[in-house]
């Protein structure tokens, strides 16, 4: 088992990580799941005496204040006090909404992330961001708050289909592109089915952790992690409005293609990145840029009515706060 130390908590990676769930000091325990993590992952947890299970429907369209209301009602119904604990067992959706609800219930109870998807293992559970969507705008309402710990069992990846696994890989690709040329060379020269997932997860987390330790509240360096996400979040919102939600990683892959186009790279390197993504990952149709502008206008990162991007200056290097007027895109 590998341990990575973050700001005020540990990230444990390996089959044995789940043995480190300690509920002894808590008066109540809730396990937050969706229908997928309940079916495939819940029985892998150690038995926790008197724990309640709160189940949500999965999907971005349920990542909203109505679902928060349901969670809070369950906590009140079961008389959870401030010495209670929430275990967030699931993908990024469960981690985001569970972390937010725990952070705001009675001004905050402890929570532990137990991510079950590649996306949540390498990205969503790392860094203390919690939140929900509002008015079809991604993560508009939320807080920064770290879990007590993050427990990652790569065995959960066996519960994912190929589409889910490849969607999560988008964040690994992003971490390589913004920060680590050697990781980029590794993932572009290895067949997808041959990856050592425990090693890839640890490498990817180490990159993100190094960045967030420098900038926990996203005032500077942490903005690099937004590469692919300005267009990516707009694409997610666009498809939600079309009534055909797509996976987060699929949107981020498209976002990285579009943001590579406006990055400070040679045409050769732009083609290297875009061809790798297009060749290896089946993606939805790319919407017209003009259809995405209205979503990007409300992006949290914007400044002075300009759309803010984090862009590449080289493979493995990036630059924050690149501002564009709408007509420049």
Q: Is 248 a catalytic residue?
A: yes
Which is the catalytic residue, given 47, 49, 107, 219?
107
Residues 100 and 180 in one domain: no
CATH code at position 26: 3.40.50.1970
Which is the catalytic residue, given 229, 236, 250, 259?
229
Residues 258 and 220 in one domain: yes
**Averaged pLDDT, 114-137:** 94
288: left (phi over 0), alpha (psi -120 to 50) or beta: beta
pLDDT score recorded for residue 60: 84
Q: Is 226 a catalytic residue?
A: yes
Which is the catalytic residue, given 248, 250, 308, 322?
248
- Ordered DSSP codes for 87-136: EEEESHHHHHHHHHHHHHGGG--EEEEEE-SHHIIIIITSSSEEEEEETT
pLDDT score recorded for residue 50: 92
Q: How many domains does the chain have?
A: 2
Q: 3-state DSSP: the chain helix, strand, coil percent, rounded to 5?
A: 50, 20, 30
Which is the catalytic residue, given 63, 113, 174, 208?
208
Q: Which helix (H) or strand (E) holds 151?
A: strand 149-152
Which is the catalytic residue, given 60, 164, 198, 218?
218
Q: Is 222 a catalytic residue?
A: yes
3-state SS assignment for residue 3 = strand
pLDDT by residue (tens digit) across 7-25?
899 999 999 999 999 999 9
Q: Is 171 a catalytic residue?
A: yes
The span from the CA of 171 to the CA of 176, in Å, is 9
Residues 118 and 196 in one domain: no
Which is the catalytic residue, given 174, 223, 233, 301?
233
pLDDT score recorded for residue 138: 83
pLDDT score recorded for residue 275: 98
Q: Is 233 a catalytic residue?
A: yes
Is residue 11 within 8 Å of residue 4, measured between CB atoms?
A: yes
Beta-bridged to residue 4, according to DSSP, are 11
* Percentage with pLDDT > 90 across the chain: 91
Residues 155 and 235 in one domain: no
pLDDT score recorded for residue 11: 98
| pLDDT tier at 304, thresholds 50, 70, 90 | confident
Q: What is the largest CA-CA distance in the chain?
A: 60
pLDDT by residue (tens digit) across 68-97?
999 999 999 999 999 999 999 999 999 999
Which is the catalytic residue, given 63, 129, 138, 223?
129
CATH code at position 172: 1.20.1090.10
Handedness of CA 165, 22, 38, 105 (dihedral sign): negative
- pTM score: 0.92
Q: Is 275 a catalytic residue?
A: no
Which is the catalytic residue, given 222, 223, 224, 301?
222
Q: Domain range for residue 122?
A: 2-159
| pLDDT tier at 137, thresholds 50, 70, 90 | confident
The span from the CA of 206 to the CA of 64, in Å, is 30
- Ordered DSSP codes for 15-84: GGGGGG---TT-S-EEEEEEHHHHHHTGGGSPP-TT-EEEEE--SGGG-SHHHHHHHHHHHHHTT--TT-
Q: Is 164 a catalytic residue?
A: no
3-state SS assignment for residue 306 = strand
Q: Is 139 a catalytic residue?
A: no
């Amino acid at each position: 088992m590998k341990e990575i130390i973050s700001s005020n908590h540990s990230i444990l990676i390996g089959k044995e990580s789940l043995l480190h769930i300690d509920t002894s000091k808590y008066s109540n325990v809730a396990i937050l799941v969706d229908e997928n993590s309940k079916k495939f992952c819940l029985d892998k947890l150690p038995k926790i005496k008197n724990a309640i299970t709160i189940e949500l429907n999965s999907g971005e369209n349920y990542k909203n204040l109505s679902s928060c209301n349901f969670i809070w009602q369950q906590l009140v119904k079961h008389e959870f006090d401030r010495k209670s604990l929430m275990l967030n067992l699931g993908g990024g959706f469960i981690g985001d909404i569970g972390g937010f609800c725990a952070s705001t219930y009675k001004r905050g109870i402890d929570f532990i992330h137990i991510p079950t998807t590649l996306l949540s293992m390498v990205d969503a559970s790392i860094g203390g961001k919690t939140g929900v969507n509002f008015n079809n705008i991604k993560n508009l309402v939320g807080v920064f708050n770290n879990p007590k710990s993050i427990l990652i069992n790569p065995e959960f990846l066996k519960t994912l289909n190929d589409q889910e696994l490849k969607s999560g890989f988008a964040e690994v690709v992003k971490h390589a592109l913004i920060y680590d040329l050697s990781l980029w060379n590794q993932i572009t020269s290895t067949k997808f089915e041959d990856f050592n997932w425990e090693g890839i997860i640890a490498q990817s987390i180490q990159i993100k952790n190094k960045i967030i330790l420098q900038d926990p509240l996203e005032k500077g360096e942490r903005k690099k992690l937004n590469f692919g996400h300005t267009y990516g979040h707009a694409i997610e919102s666009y498809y939600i409005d079309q009534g055909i939600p797509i996976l987060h990683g699929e949107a981020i892959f498209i976002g990285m293609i579009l943001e590579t186009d406006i990055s400070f790279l040679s045409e050769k390197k732009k083609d290297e990145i875009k061809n790798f993504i297009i060749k290896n990952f089946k993606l939805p149709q790319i919407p017209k840029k003009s259809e995405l502008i209205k979503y990007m206008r409300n992006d949290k990162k914007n400044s002075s009515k300009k759309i803010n991007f984090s862009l590449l200056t080289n493979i493995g290097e990036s630059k924050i706060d690149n501002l564009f007027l709408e007509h420049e895109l």
